[in-house]
Every structure is written in C-alpha cells, then in structure tokens.
Structure 1
Amino acid sequence: MGDPRYIVLFGACLTQFTVIGMLFSFGLFLPSFEAELGWSRTFLSTCTALAFLVMGVLAMPGGRLSDALGPRIVLACTGTLYGIGFVLMSQVTAQLQLLVIFGTLIGLGLSSHDVVTLSTIARWFPRRRGIMSGVVKVGTAVGQIALPPVAALLIVAYGWRAALLMLGITASVLLLIAALSMQRPPAPAAGTSSIITGASFAEARRGAGARVFWTLCATQFLFFPALMSVPLHLAVHGMDLGMTQTLAATMLSVIGAASIAGRLIMGALVDRIGGKMAYTICLLVLLVSLAALILTTAHGGLFVVVAVYGFGHGALFVVVSPTVAEYFGMRAHGAIFGTVLFFGTLGGSVGPILTGWVFDSFGSYTPAFITLALSAAIAIVLVRTLPRPEVAVLDP
C-alpha cells in the first residue's frame, strides 16, 4: 500500500481537477443557451452567481461535517450530486430549471471542493501546508487546461445537450473515485501540537485576532469577483472579439497552465515569506492583468494578458488556507477558513452578475473589468494593514 498521505493528496487533486474544470467549461455553453433558448448573459451569470453564494453558505457547515464524518462521506455525496447537476442541465428548457440546478446541485458540489480538501491537506502536512496546498490546486489548473477543450470538441461533435450529459456522468464517476481516496489523519497526527494549537473561532472573530480575521474576510470579498467573473466570461469575450469557439476555449487552458506556476511558486513562497507578502504579490499580479485586459483587443496580446492573469488567479487560491493557519493556528482552521471563503463567495456571486449585466447593457465588458481592477487595488491596501503573524496568533 502507498503512503496514505499521498493517496489523500491524489484524491484532493482529482476533486479540484473535476469540479473546477467543469465549472470553467460552462462558459463555453453560454452561446448555445443564448442561441437556442434566447437567455441573456445576465441570467446565465446569475445562475453561476447563485451557485457561488450557495457554495459560500455551505462551506462553513461543510467543514464542520468533514470534521465530524470525515472528508470521504462529504465529498462522495457532494461530488455525485455535482455530476448529476450537469446531467440534468442537459435537459433544461426553462430558466427556473437552470436556476434550481445551480442553486442546489452545482452549489453543493462547489461547497466542499476547497474547504474539505485543503483543510484535510493542512492536517496531513502540518510542516508543508503552503506547498501542498499549491500541489492540490495544481489539480485545479490541470482541470482548467484539459476539460474546456474536451467540452468544446464534444459541443461541436454531438451538440451542447449531449456534451453536458457526457461530462456530467464522467464528473460523477471521477468525484466518487476522488472521495474514496480521502480520509482523516490518524489520531497521533491529529493530536500533535501543530494541529491543536491556535485561536478558537470565537477568539478569531472577537478577540485579539479580530482585526486580522475581518481584514482577510474583506480582502477575499474584494478580489474573489475577478476570479469568478473573468473565467466565466473570458471565452465568450474572446468570441466577441472574433475568436473561434475552440480558440476561445484555449484561453481558459492558458489560465490553467499559467496558474500551475502561480500555485507552485506561491505555495512554496508563502511558507517562507508569510501570508501578508504573498497576498500582496498575488494581488499586484491580478491588478496588472485586469488593467491590461481593459486595454487589449488583439488576439495575441490577449493570450499574454490571460497568462499573467492565470498566474495571479492560481496563486490567490493557494495563499488563503496557509495564511489562516499562520495567523490563527489549526484549532479552528476549518471554521475560520470556511468563513473567509464565505465572504469571498459573497463577492464572487455579485461579480458574474455585474459582468453579465454590464455587457447586456453597454455591449462591452470594459466597465466591469474596470470595477474588478479597482476592487483588487482596494484589496492590496487592506492586506498591507495586516500585522505580523505572531501578534495575531492566539495559542491557548
């Protein structure tokens, strides 16, 4: 038998690969929904925003359920339902049907993919949380690279409904395999001081670490809309600029490829330079890419901008969990991390709707991209106010 830590790592990577790869692929279906059913991008963005909101609401209880029941049961249930959601999506004929699917099944699948996998990995690898979080999120990047082109080919070959059906069945199978690979650390590992020390959830919210806690929540709220809106609208934005569907799908793969570097480099650096500096670097990269996205219309230049964005996109998903552990320890990591993610999904639920509404209203994504860039700039200012970690950590 192999080392159980790396079996768990495999399960976490496969979960990320499937859940986020499928989510990225959904943007390729927007033109089909528009052409066949006449649904606006505002409505389609509202569906994904609803899923993000459900993800945030369920992230906190999802982390607690994982602590109580173990990651295997939680991920098996939510992963199977996520795949079923895409299967049912292939049969929709009314807007309410799509809203219900995203507000239940897709939201449930998204709710556990980060908080359960990354919290479990943080417990299995207490001395290498940053780099191992980066490795797990490489699974996300590989999904972003691999699945959108597959989805594009399936749409061309079989039509969008059959493509969703095949992708949904495949997702359920992969996520069940991933869930069966997950397990809690054995009792000795769970009892080490590196895992049980730190602030309680109440101390994080109201005690000496409250300023750090709410700063992290506000920062997540500000930058997360860009991480949710750009991937959803990027492919159709490229098609608006004259790209073919396949070429536009390639931009999503570029995000995934560039994010591998961001995840691994920042995953290694966050353990050395600390969360505050890591956040600053990631947000600066994001801000530069969003500013360039506003100004770029040439296809070649857009691919360069997308690569820069992909680095920042991937890196930002890596720094949150280790930074929470750095400031608050592991005593209530799941609850604190889940709450920070919740605030991110609040912002993430607004971003796609705003972006779709801007396009429907003005025929351009430029005002939305400007708003996302300003939010990233404010997030940088907030991060720079964070204290040194030893000031905020509350060891009992």
Structure 2
Amino acid sequence: MEEQAGTKSFFYGYLIVAASSIIQMLFLSCMFAYGVLFKELEAEFGWSRAAIAGASSLMMLMMGTLAIFLGRTNDIAGPRLLLTLTGILYGLGFMLMSQMNSLWELYLFFGVMGGFGLASHDVATLSTVNRWFIRFRGLMTGIVKSGAGLGQVLGPILASYLVMNYGWRNACLVMGLLVMAGMVLASQLMRGDPESMNTLPLSEPDSMKSNETPKRTSLRFEEARKTRSFWILCLAKFADFFCLMSVINHIVPHGIDLGMKPTVAVTVLSTIGGCSIIGRLVLGSAFDRIGPQKSLGVCFSLLFMGLMLILLAKDPRLLFVFAPIYGISHGGFFAIASPTVAHFFGTRSHGMLFGTVLFFGALGGTLGPVITGRVYDLFQSYDNAFMMLIGFTVIGLLLTLALKNPNPTTA
C-alpha cells in the first residue's frame, strides 16, 4: 500500500534533491572551468580562440540535440543508470583532455563526450525532482539548480589553482577524475519516481489529509506537441538562451573594452554566478506562488533591465550593478524551466518534453554568442549586439504573455 509523503519522519525526495544538486554542481564545474584553459591551449598549441571556443559551441549543440533522446531514456530507464553512464563519459572526456595534442581531440573529448554527458544533467535530475514534488516543486528545482550555480563559481577557482600549481594537463586529469567519482556515487541515490519506493509525491496538505493522490492531467509527448503552449515555451527558451549565452561569453571582453583590467572583468562573471544562485532560490520559490507565466515575465523583465543598462552605461563600474540584475534573471530562467513544463503538461513524458524545450534553448545558446561576436566584428562595438539581444528579450516577453494557463489540476 502506498503511503502519503509526509506521514514518515523522512521523505526520500529530499535526498533526491540533495543528490541532484551535487550532480548539477559537478557537471557545471567542468563546463565553466573550460574558460580557464583558453590561454593555456592557445599558448601551447597556437590554436585561435575561435577554434578553442568552437569546442564549447559543439558541446552546447550536442547537449541540446541529445537532450530529447536522453529525456526519453530517463522516462523509460530512470535516472540512476542514465546519470551513472553519462557521468562516467563526461569525467572520462575531461581526463582524456590531459593527453590531447590535436584540435580534433579537443572537439571529441570536450565537445562530443562532454556534450553527451552534459545532455543528461537537466533532463534526468529536474524531471525526477518534478515527479517527487508537487508541493514546493519550484523551490526544490531552485535548490537543485543552485548546485549548478555553485559549480559555476567553484569550478573556475579549482581549475585556476590546479593549472597554476600543477599545469593544465594535470588539472584536466584531476577534475575529470573527481567529477566521475562524484557523479557515480551521487547517481546511486537517484530513484525515478515515488511509486518505485511505495510512496507518493509530496503534495499539498489538503490532499494529504484526505488521503487521496492529487488528480492531475499528464499529457503524452504526442499530445503536448499539438498544443500552442508547448511551442511558445520552445520559442521562449530559444530567446532566453540566445541572450544568456551571449552575455556569458561576451561580458568579460566588453568590460575590458570599457577599460577594466582582465582580472576585474572576470570578477563581473563570478558576481553573475553568485547572484544566479539567489535567482534560482528566490524565483524558484516564487514559482510555487505566482505560477509559470508571471515567473517568466519577471525573468524577461529583469533581463531587459540589465541589457538596457549595459547598452546605455559607459562607466565600467556599472557592470557591477548589471551583474546582480542579470544574475538573478539568469538563475531564475534555469530554475523555472522544468517546473513550467510539469505545470503545463504533467510528468508522464516530462523528460522528453523538457528535453525538446532544452533543444530549442541549446540552439539559441549555440547561435547567440556566434552572431553576437559577428555583429561586434562588423561594427567594432557591442552596442548593436546588445540592441539585438534586447529585441530577443522583448520577443520572449511577448511570447510569455501569450501563454494560457492549463487545467488547474495539471501537475
């Protein structure tokens, strides 16, 4: 007989959240540590920065393309096996970078193997959390994504220490090994859904008191893809990723162009990472109270304010005003994406649906930094590029306003 969540002294779903947060931290630590390797690879091999950045773009493209497939795999096989295998592949790719001598090896180890592993980090962890929680769904997703923010901050710091003291090859070897071991261990705590442990999701108090499972409408992928809301979410995710990845890739050179020292400009990026944790927690928690449409509206509005600020501001110190505004928006987008899909379409095919939304996001994240860079090369200024990003932000906000609330019993 299934037991209601909350009738025991400990609900296993909280352990799912903790394991998922660790997994997110490990995945993102290596991803963001890659920027530390730029100058090392450029100095040793003479590769251009465009060529080195191409491996990162390939990782993003692989992540988006495979997210649909791995989301479906998670729906069928569950997160424990999926995350164990992709964690091994991801860590192994970083370890093999320590032995590379050719550009194609960088693209294989970081772009392909890393992208394959990274494709599972959201569809497996966040889909699982959304199956375990109805109550506090946004907050729990925010806590999990805070792990990603922590990895964004800690990864470059650890990589910098290892590179300075032991060289970039040993840095890749050590970080890859640590991530692989941590991923395998944390993945063993994952369980696909509460039913597999003879319990029920954490639900609202009223449903717990009545001892009834919350009624909810969960759509199959074939049903959800026929709805207008699904394609609006896909296009909105394309718009926000287009802007977010462009800012992350170009804010440091923009700061240097304004007269900042490189070390100070990097601090802006770290500030964004720290503030994104606040955004993940605050907006994730707010999602539970105000719902997906208003949450997305807040994120796009903050993004609009931040982009207008860096477009008009010529004092580099104002980038430290921009960083918290943008950082909260950045974290919020990542925290509310998964519960938004669950809110509209349920959890039956959540992995595949969320994976499809992420594919559109990854497509925007792949194109955005490249197009932004091309616009800068054409005009030798980021002004036109920032106006382009503001345009995408407005489009995303208008798409959000066109969303229609689903049946209130959807979960």
Same fold (TM over 0.5): yes
1:92–1:365 Cα change, 3 Å: farther
Paired residue secondary structure (2:99): coil
Residue 257 of structure 1 aligns with which residue? Answer: 274
Give ranges in structure 2 of 5+ residues lacking alignment.
1-8, 202-211
Q: CA deviation at 1:238?
A: 4.3
The 8 Å contact of residues 50 and 103 in structure 1, kept in 2 or not, is answered as yes
Does the 8 Å CA contact 1:22/1:147 hold for their aligned counterparts? yes
**Correspondence list, 1:116-265, <5 A:** 116-187=124-195, 188-189=198-199, 193-194=213-214, 197-206=217-226, 210-238=227-255, 243=260, 246-265=263-282
Unaligned ranges ≥5, structure 1: none
- CA 1:261–1:331: 2 relative to 1, 3 Å: same
Distance 1:383 1:11, change over 3 A: same
2:392 is the alignment partner of 1:375: yes
Contact 2:75 2:350 in 1 (8 A): no
Name the counterpart of 2:118. 110
Higher radius of gyration, 1 or 2: 2
| Aligned residue type for 2:174 | M
Give the one of 289, 308, 316 matched to 2:325: 308
Contact 1:358 1:365 in 2 (8 A): yes
**Residue deviations 1:162-190, cap 9 Å, x none?**
32232222221222222122122342446
Q: CA 1:111–1:100 in structure 2 vs 1: closer, same or farther (change >3 Å)?
A: same
- CA distance, structure 2, for counterparts of residue 237 and residue 90 of structure 1: 31
Instruction: Tell me the percent identity.
Output: 42
Q: Which residue of 2 aligns with 1:44?
A: 52
Aligned partner of residue 225 in structure 2, secondary structure? helix
2:385 matched to 1:337?
no
Letter in 2 for 1:203: E
Provide the residue aligned with 1:294 in structure 2.
Answer: 311
Which structure carries more helix by proportion?
Answer: 1
Q: CA deviation at 1:29?
A: 2.4
Aligned residue in 2 for 1:93: 101
Does the CA contact (< 8 Å) of 2:97 and 2:172 recur in 1?
Answer: yes
Q: For each residue in 1:328-373, what CA deviation from the matched residue of structure 2 results, as whole angstroms up to 9, or x when unmatched?
A: 1222222211111111111111123324444556555444333222
TM-score (norm 2): 0.86
Task: Give the CA deviation at 1:54.
Answer: 1.2
Partner of 1:389: 406
**Would you say 1:325 and 2:325 are equivalent positions?**
no
| Amino acid across the alignment from 1:158 | Y
Q: Which moved more, 1:329-338 or 1:73-82?
A: 329-338
CA RMSD after TM alignment: 2.6
1: CA distance, partners of 2:333 / 2:269: 17
Preserved contact between residue 195 and residue 329 of structure 1 (Cα < 8 Å): no
TM-score normalised by L of structure 1: 0.89
| Correspondence for 2:206 | none
CA distance in 2, matches of 1:238, 1:22: 24
The 10-residue stretch of structure 1 (242-251 or 263-272) with the greater mean CA deviation from structure 2: 242-251
Cα deviations across residues 190-244 of structure 1 (Å, max 9, x unaligned)?
69854863222111112xxx11111011111111122223223444554555655
SS of 1:93's equivalent in the other structure is: coil
Counterpart residue type for residue 202 of structure 1: E
Q: Which residue identity does 2:402 align to in structure 1?
A: T
